Amino acid sequence: MRLLICMCVASGCLAAQDSTKTSAPAAAQQTKKTAAPAPLALPKDAVETEAGLYRWTDKDGKVWMYRLTPFGVRRWPEASGATGQDVTGKHDGMSERTTAVAEGDSIRFEQATPFGKRTWVRKKTALNETERRIWDLQQKNSATSRAADKE
C-alpha cells in the first residue's frame, strides 16, 4: 500500500514539474510584451531657449517643448496649456494649489506639493509676481464668495 501511495505522490510531483516547465516560457513572453517603454530623450537638434527648456520641431512641423527635470525629460506641445506649463515653463496651476492668508503686514502662503505642504511667509511689500497673482486671486475669490453668501 505504501508503495502505491509513494508512486502516486511521485507521479504527481513529476506532472507538476512538467507543467511549470511549459508555463515558464509563456510567462517570460508575457513579461517581454509588458516591458516599460524607453525613457523620453532630448532630440539632438533641439534648441535651448532658457536653462533646462528646449524647443524642437518634428518632421510634421509640430513644435514641442522639452524640460529637463530631476525625474527625466518632459515633453508637451508648444501651444498646449493642458500640462500646466506655458512656453516659458512656468506653472500656471500653482495659484490653484496655493492658498494665501494675511497675517498683519505679511502673507502666509501654503502650497500643496507631491512631497507635502510647503509654507512660507512674505511681507506684502516684498511679493514677487507669482505671489502677487496668488494673493490677488485669493482676495478676488474671497470677495466673490462673500457676495454669494449675502444673496
| Residue ranges making up the domain that contains 43 | 39-92
Same domain, 100 and 71: no
- Asked whether residue 126 is assigned to any structural domain, the reply reads yes
**Structurally, how many domains does the chain consist of?**
2
Position 143 confidence tier, pLDDT thresholds 50, 70, 90: confident
Same domain, 107 and 146: yes
Same domain, 74 and 100: no
- Asked whether residue 25 is assigned to any structural domain, the reply reads no
- Asked whether residue 49 is assigned to any structural domain, the reply reads yes
Report d(CA 117, CA 113) in Å as an integer: 6
Half-sphere exposure of 5 (CA within 13 A, CB side): 2
- Asked whether residue 15 is assigned to any structural domain, the reply reads no
Same domain, 47 and 79: yes
Position 65 confidence tier, pLDDT thresholds 50, 70, 90: very high
- pLDDT, tens digit, 9 for 90 and up, residues 45-61: 999 988 889 999 999 98
- pLDDT, tens digit, 9 for 90 and up, residues 79-116: 754 444 444 444 456 667 888 999 999 999 998 888 88
- pLDDT, tens digit, 9 for 90 and up, residues 114-139: 888 999 999 999 989 888 998 988 88
Average pLDDT, the chain: 76
